[in-house]
Every structure is written in C-alpha cells, then in structure tokens.
Structure 1
Amino acid sequence: MTVPKLPHQPRQRRRGLLLVGLLAMTGGGVLAAQTVQQLSSRSLVVVMTRDVPIGRQVTANDMATTLVGAEPGVATVPGDRLPQIVGTRAAVTLLAGTLLSPKATTDQLTPAPQQQLVPIAVKPSRLPARGFAPGDPVLVMPAPDPTTRRIVPTGIAAVVDQVKEPDTDGMVVVDLLVSDMDGPKLASLAADGRVALVLTPRRQ
C-alpha cells in the first residue's frame, strides 16, 4: 500500500511562519521587559485603611502598605516608616483608601503652651476665594459697625488650625490659634460676628 505524500509547504510560507514566530518571541520579550520596568518603578508606601479624624492618635490598625507607581509631585510616606507613624496624631482628617502624606500627621498637639484655640464663624464672603488650609497665617480684622463711626482696632495675628464645612446657616467655622494674650480679645470679636480674615504670607 502506498502512503500518499503530503505536499511540501512552499518555502515562502515556511519563512512567513518563522517570521511570525520570531515576532511573537520578540513581542513577549518586550512585554516582559515592560513588566519588569513597571514593577521596578513601583514603591511601597503607607495607605490609610480607616478614617482618622483630625487630632486623634493614629494606630497600626489604621494603616497598611501598598505598591504604587511613582507619580511626580505626589508626596508619600515610605512603607518602612509605618512604625514611626504609629502614635502620632492626625494633623488633618485622614480618609481610608488615601495615601498618607508626610505632613498629614504630627507629634505636636494644639493648642501648644501659651496658645489658645478660638473658633470663629464667618460668612463665606469674608473668606478668600481659595479658602484656607491648616497652617495658613491670617490676620483677623474686625469689620466696621455701620451704626457707629468708631475706629476699627488693629487686627490679631493667628494661624488656621482647622476649617469646617459650611453649616446649615451658611457660616464657615474656622479654628484659629492665637497667643494666650489675644485669645480673650479674639473670642470677644468672634461673639459679635463682625470679623474678616486676611490671608498673609507664610514664613519661609
């Protein structure tokens, strides 16, 4: 019995299959190289796993570590520094799922010695359009009383500690840190409700 011979593949077709194989191998090598490069550019950083309100102590259960790609301009805390963060306090409200920034926690409590914290409720129209952030230096200026012609006293220097969302009346409460000498005076001005906050330059 004669076994029929299979037709020979044209030489050009064999070359085409060989070329496809080489391209597949090359593509796989490039993909592997890209994967290695991406993994090498990722770093271990600290991420929040639970919400931590401002001022509360941060515990180990509030944080974890994760691998992220390096993003220019984004400040993060290296994962090996997690034990050093435990026991510090939240300088701002920390939200679960967000990367921890270096300035988000602090060892200092407010108010510090010889300081007082005074909350002031102001209208949004008396705040800068860009808003305030913790640490902003401000000058508290009494708004003139339209019913009198008394001279407006000199403003009081303060530092923003925290800014709350507008309440149901549309007022924004700003917690200000002032010297213990200016605390009672600022509280008296805040009770009148006629104050404006002036943003001043940060010290370098």
Structure 2
Amino acid sequence: MTTEVTSEEAPKTTQAPAGLPRRTKKPKLPSRRKGYVAAVLALAILGASLAWVGTRSTGSHEVLSLKNDVLRGQTITQEDLTSLSVEGDQPQFIDINRQTDVVGAKAQANLLAGSPVIEGSFASAMPVPEGMSIVGLGLKPANMPGRELVPGDKVRVLLTPAGEQLAGDEQLKTISAVVERYPTTSEDAEGNSNFIVDIRVKKADAPRIATWSAAGLVGLVLDGDK
C-alpha cells in the first residue's frame, strides 16, 4: 500500500534569497594562530615598557653610594664606595666625579651601606665641639673592655691606682667620656701591645685624664645607654 504525501504535509525548508550567501557559524581561531597573536601582544607590551624605562632614565646621573657600612670617625676608603643612578637634580648627593674628595675623609656620622653619600657626611677631620677636648688614652688590654669599642660609645675613665695607692674601699675617681675613634694598636719599647683610644671629654677634665694616662693609671669602662 502506498501512502501519498501531499505538498501541504511535506517538511518545509527555508531557502536563502537568490544572490545572498548562506549564514554559517563563525570559524574558531586555530590554536597556532592564537599563539602568534599572543606573542605579538607580548612584544608590544615589552616594547612599551622599554620605551617607558627609557623615558624615565632620561636625565639620570651617577652619584657616590656606600658599598659598606662606615661608622662615625672611620676613614672612608675606595673599597667602601660604589655608584648609584639617580633622577633629576639632587644637589645634596655627591657626583661620582668627586670621588677623590670622599676617599680618605672621616665619616661624620654612621654611614650605612646602600645609602648615597651626602654633603656634610664626611670631612678631613672630626670636629671638636666647643667646650670639649679630645684625649688619647694609652691602654693595656687588661684596662679596657674586650668588646670592640665604636665611636659614640659612652664610657667612664677610671683612675686605677696600684699597690699602696689603692686605699681599701675608697671610691675610685671616674670621669664620663665618649669614644671618638676606634682603638688602634701600638707597641712600647719592650714590644708590649697597647691600645690608643681617642675619647671626647669636657675641656676641664682633659688635663687630669691625660696625666692618668701618662702614668699608666687609667682604665676604661663601657656603660649602657641609660
């Protein structure tokens, strides 16, 4: 038995108007194509970054910086210095061409590694404040702390009488002072090692301390900040 399908029952299809292309789904971008686009974009960003850096570096110049810590009173050496690039005009910084002005000078404050060298932080010698004096003490190892002394340490200078001069529980004479320079080593005529420590004291106390030191009757005690 044959079933006849009429035109009204047949499935309908939509025909595109003549002369127009049939609509299709947008093709996916191949993965290789995507990688190429990403690479081009990355190069563009890199180029922009380099251009920005180049703009930022315009007008930069080299100044002196500290490679090592240099404490107050220490001599600044060639090995302590390096260069640092800065932007714009920085008159307080020391231009790298002035290196000879800094090498051999004394640090006027504690200079930290990584920081630029600035005007006023170095000088040919340490200044002596008004009303103060610098006294050099000649000390045997037993008359000073075993701990290394640094400029700025607060100390007491003691009269250390010996033998019959030591009177029982009599209070020892002491004078407050501040370490001005690292101890340096020297030797006497018999080859015994001594340390020379520069201290800063009141001007009125300087002659008495110098007399104690010359007689070999001086000791040094390191005190805390408080």
Q: Which category of TM-score, normalised to the shorter sequence, fits these structures?
A: 0.5 to 0.7
Query: Per-residue deviation at 1:31?
Result: 5.7
2:173: which partner in 1?
A: 154
Normalising to structure 2: TM-score of the pair? 0.50
1:26: which partner in 2?
A: 45
Q: Deviations over 1:39-68 (max 9, x none)?
A: 59x9975559xxxxx6xxxxxxxxxx9644
Does the Cα contact within 8 Å between 1:128 and 1:198 map onto a contact in 2?
no
AA aligned to 2:160 is A
Matched, 1:171 2:194: yes
Q: Which of 208, 213, 217 does residue 185 from structure 1 map onto? A: 208
Structure 2 Cα separation of the partners of residues 176 and 46 of structure 1: 30
Alignment of 1:5-16 (within 5 A): 11-16=30-35
Structure 2 Cα separation of the partners of residues 39 and 99 of structure 1: 18
Q: Percent same amino acid at aligned positions?
A: 22
What 5-or-longer segments of structure 2 have no aligned partner?
1-28, 67-72, 74-81, 95-100, 110-114
AA aligned to 2:149 is G
Secondary structure class of the residue paired with 1:153: coil
Does the Cα contact within 8 Å between 2:131 and 2:203 map onto a contact in 1?
yes
Does the Cα contact within 8 Å between 1:114 and 1:179 map onto a contact in 2?
yes
Structure 2 Cα separation of the partners of residues 28 and 146 of structure 1: 83
Q: Check 1:194–1:19 CA distance in 2 against 1; reply closer, same or farther (3 A cut).
A: same
1:199: which partner in 2?
A: 222
AA aligned to 1:123 is K
Secondary structure class of the residue paired with 1:81: coil
Q: Deviations over 1:68-90 (max 9, x none)?
A: 47xxxxxxxx941269xx9xxx5
Secondary structure class of the residue paired with 2:107: coil
Q: Which of 111, 126, 149 does residue 131 from structure 1 map onto? A: 149
| Larger Cα-atom Rg | 2
Secondary structure class of the residue paired with 1:171: strand
- What do you get for the CA RMSD once the two structures are aligned? 4.6
Structure 2 Cα separation of the partners of residues 179 and 109 of structure 1: 16
Secondary structure class of the residue paired with 1:80: coil
Does the Cα contact within 8 Å between 1:138 and 1:197 map onto a contact in 2?
yes
Does the Cα contact within 8 Å between 1:158 and 1:178 map onto a contact in 2?
yes
Structure 2 Cα separation of the partners of residues 82 and 176 of structure 1: 31
Query: Per-residue deviation at 1:202?
Result: 5.2
Q: Deviations over 1:137-175 (max 9, x none)?
A: 321012352565324532012222222432355422111
Secondary structure class of the residue paired with 1:131: coil
Q: Which of 145, 164, 173 does residue 162 from structure 2 map onto? A: 145
2:107: which partner in 1?
A: 92
Matched, 1:80 2:91: yes
